[in-house]
Structure 1
């Protein structure tokens, strides 16, 4: 895998995943995001790095739609807009990121052998913070203040 930085889209596999999103019909994109997250949760140990990378990119797309979430500004992210994603993807994304960052994960092991490991961990933590920020109530009522 060609990797040039610690961000969720800063590698060839994530860029390919985003290209697949761009090629898919708009209505299919949420399903592709969901599939990337579910594959990580259903995978056997050790977690394959390719699955992990796609899940991190998918989680970043979910996080970008959360209040205060980091926007997708990478030129390697999707070129086309990702439609509003279902709220239940937040929990899947959190669980997927925890799996990616825990042993046995090939991606975690690859990063742990580099000087950039703390930066990579911080990039996952930023996504987790956005994903776990209190979601608005489903009934549209104002949330806690």
Structure 2
């Protein structure tokens, strides 16, 4: 995976996903985000979540969070160039479920980050997204991890 920083769009997979959003018709963009989030959220706890799917889910969650109160606008050159529609509120809990799955034990992306010194910072960045998406849902479930 070509990754150059811990940002939600700072890797080849997220940049390619955003390119797909730009190439999609305006009316199809919400569906692409929903599919990426659903794919991650619906992966069973015992099933292994592929890092490509997890990266697309994180990028999608960041785009949803950008439209929430307290959300950070997506200003990176690797995000979508084309505007997104106003996204429905029902994407927020779906994005939370996807992020919880992304940081879970059976997630390749979490495993890859946990093998680096930037793993804790990446996890904090994902938690910050989750906090914007679900301020009333409370803290994320504890997911133990160890640094090598």
Report if TM-score (shorter chain) is over 0.5. yes
TM-score, normalised with respect to structure 2: 0.88
Q: CA deviation at 1:64?
A: 0.2
The whole-number CA distance in structure 1 between the counterparts of 2:58 and 2:31 is: 15
Equivalences, count: 134
Q: CA deviation at 1:26?
A: 0.6
Q: CA deviation at 1:133?
A: 3.0
1:78 corresponds to: 80
1:141 corresponds to: none
> How far does the alpha carbon of each residue in 1:40-72 deviate from its partner, in whole angstroms, 9 at most, with x for none?
122351110000000000000000000010110
TM-score, normalised with respect to structure 1: 0.90
The whole-number CA distance in structure 2 between the counterparts of 1:125 and 1:73 is: 19
Aligned-pair Cα RMSD in Å: 0.9
Question: Structure 1 stretches of 5 or more lacking a match?
Answer: 135-145
Q: Which runs of 4+ in 1 moved over 4 A?
A: none
Aligned residue among 105, 110, 114 for 2:116: 114
Aligned residue among 101, 104, 107 for 1:102: 104
1:91 corresponds to: 93
The whole-number CA distance in structure 1 between the counterparts of 2:76 and 2:120 is: 20
> How far does the alpha carbon of each residue in 1:73-118 deviate from its partner, in whole angstroms, 9 at most, with x for none?
1110000111111110000000000000011100000000000011
1:137 corresponds to: none
SS in 1 for 2:35: helix
The whole-number CA distance in structure 2 between the counterparts of 1:89 and 1:50 is: 20
- Is the counterpart of residue 6 in structure 1 residue 25 in structure 2? no
